[in-house]
Structure 1
Amino acid sequence: MVGKKLETNIRLAKQTDINDMFEIIDYYANDGIMLPRSKNILSHQIGDFSVVELDGKVIACGSLCKLGDDLVEVRSFGVLPIHKGKGIGKQLLEFIIHEAKSRKIPKLMALTYEVDFFIKNGFEEVAKEIFPEKVWKDCIYCKKQNCCDEIAVLKRLDLLDNT
């Protein structure tokens, strides 16, 4: 039905979401757009993930990975392709930003190919070299380490604003 708003539920992830999350991340990892995550890793990092659910099925996921006391990374962020372009990513990112604020973390970064999406949502493009925390946490394991073509984006949060 055209124009019908999807009734989604955005929430923190649970262990029962791992298979759906794996499916989303694996889809993008197979295209070289996202780093792969095993189900075991997802299980250990479940507390960092948020999901969007539609009719009982997880259709989007994303996580906040702490890189330092004042910096988290938005990562493993994806929407099932059939649901792209419906505002689901924006809703999930807003939820994740709220989570970062509740954790009192003032800066969010991401390495992405979807720069326009992040810019539209209040991020700014920055040099990835300003994030040595990211380089030592993940980039050393990436096959694109020496030829990374992802763009770094950053959003500074006003922790006094609870919206």
Structure 2
Amino acid sequence: MAEHQGEVTGCASLYVYDSGLAEIRSLGVEAGWQGQGQGSAIVQHLVDKARQMAIQKVFVLTRTPEFFMKQNFIPTSKMLLPEKVLKDCEQCPRQHACDEVALEINPNEQLIVKMNVA
């Protein structure tokens, strides 16, 4: 959750699957705070949390892939996310016309990239 002077400005959740995968879910930022780094900060916090939990892959299903690609997420196949597909996608009314893009990041590789840049 992101907040400013006690007011919630954005939020998201990190859902951890039994296999050790984690999904960033329900990222949202108040309209007046969009474009000011709130979403990026929330995503970075969740990726850092996943790294601390020794999670090897964090993924998202999104209609705004450009945002996550700026955060170093890369495209992946939904078929590589069987727990997600079984849990949510098989019951979704848009299952056969899904407009969400699957992206992933390895939190540990991201740390290496950040260390090399600094």
TM-score normalised to structure 1 length = 0.64
What residue is the counterpart of 1:67 in the other structure? Answer: 17
What residue is the counterpart of 2:91 in the other structure? Answer: 141
Q: C-alpha separation between the residues in 1 aligned to 2:23 and 2:71?
A: 15
How many equivalent pairs are there? Answer: 112
Q: Secondary structure at the match of 1:69?
A: coil
Ranges of 4+ aligned residues in structure 1 off by more than 3 Å: none
What residue is the counterpart of 1:79 in the other structure? Answer: 29
Q: C-alpha separation between the residues in 1 aligned to 2:28 and 2:91?
A: 21
What residue is the counterpart of 1:55 in the other structure? Answer: 5
Give the share of equivalent positions with the same residue, in percent: 34
Q: C-alpha separation between the residues in 2 aligned to 1:95 and 1:156?
A: 14
The one-letter code matched in structure 2 to 1:121 is: Q
Render the CA deviation track for 1:67-107: whole Å, top value 9, x for unaligned. 23321001111111221111110111111111111111110
Q: C-alpha separation between the residues in 1 aligned to 2:102 and 2:91?
A: 18
Q: C-alpha separation between the residues in 2 aligned to 1:145 and 1:63?
A: 22
Q: C-alpha separation between the residues in 2 aligned to 1:76 and 1:141?
A: 18
Is structure 2 residue 43 aligned with structure 1 residue 90?
no
Q: C-alpha separation between the residues in 1 aligned to 2:12 and 2:27?
A: 4
Q: Answer 1 or 2: higher relative contact order, Cα 8 Å, separation at least 6.
A: 2
Asked if the contact 1:69/1:105 (under 8 Å) is kept, the reply is: no
Q: 1:108 aligns with which of 58, 67, 71?
A: 58
Unaligned regions of 5+ residues in structure 1, if any?
A: 1-50
Asked if the contact 2:12/2:28 (under 8 Å) is kept, the reply is: yes
Q: 1:130 aligns with which of 72, 77, 80?
A: 80
Question: Deviation of residue 132 (structure 1)?
Answer: 1.0
Unaligned regions of 5+ residues in structure 2, if any?
A: none
Q: C-alpha separation between the residues in 1 aligned to 2:19 and 2:76?
A: 20
RMSD: 1.7
Asked if the contact 1:60/1:78 (under 8 Å) is kept, the reply is: yes
Question: Deviation of residue 130 (structure 1)?
Answer: 1.3
